[in-house]
Amino acid sequence: ENSASRRKEKENNASRRKEKENSASRRKDKENSASRRKEKENSASRRKDKENSASRRKDKENSASRRKDKENSASGRKRQRKEKQGQ
């Protein structure tokens, strides 16, 4: 009877230990999953920042190009007026 009781107690202890280990494992999995999700978000954020940076650079280039076009157009009109006056 005592022997059976001790064996049962041993089994219960092993079962509780196993459940504790499983619980810790599930918690670790949850943390890893959260960490991977966070890294994914950060990666997406960095990619978005890169795209925005490229877009701003392109806008800057387009703005400079429009300014140059405007200057060239004004210069052309000025030249045409001079040529017209010279005739």
- Domain locations in the chain? 1-87
pLDDT higher than 80, residue 87: no
At residue 38's C-alpha, the angle toward residues 34 and 44, to 5°, is 145
Q: How confident is the model at residue 84 (pLDDT cuts 50, 70, 90)?
A: confident
State residue 49's pLDDT score: 98
Residues 47, 44: Cα–Cα separation, whole Å = 5
DSSP label of 61: H
pTM over 0.85: no
State residue 27's pLDDT score: 98
Condensed to tens digits (0 to 9), the pLDDT of residues 28-71 reads 999 999 999 999 999 999 999 999 999 999 999 999 999 999 99
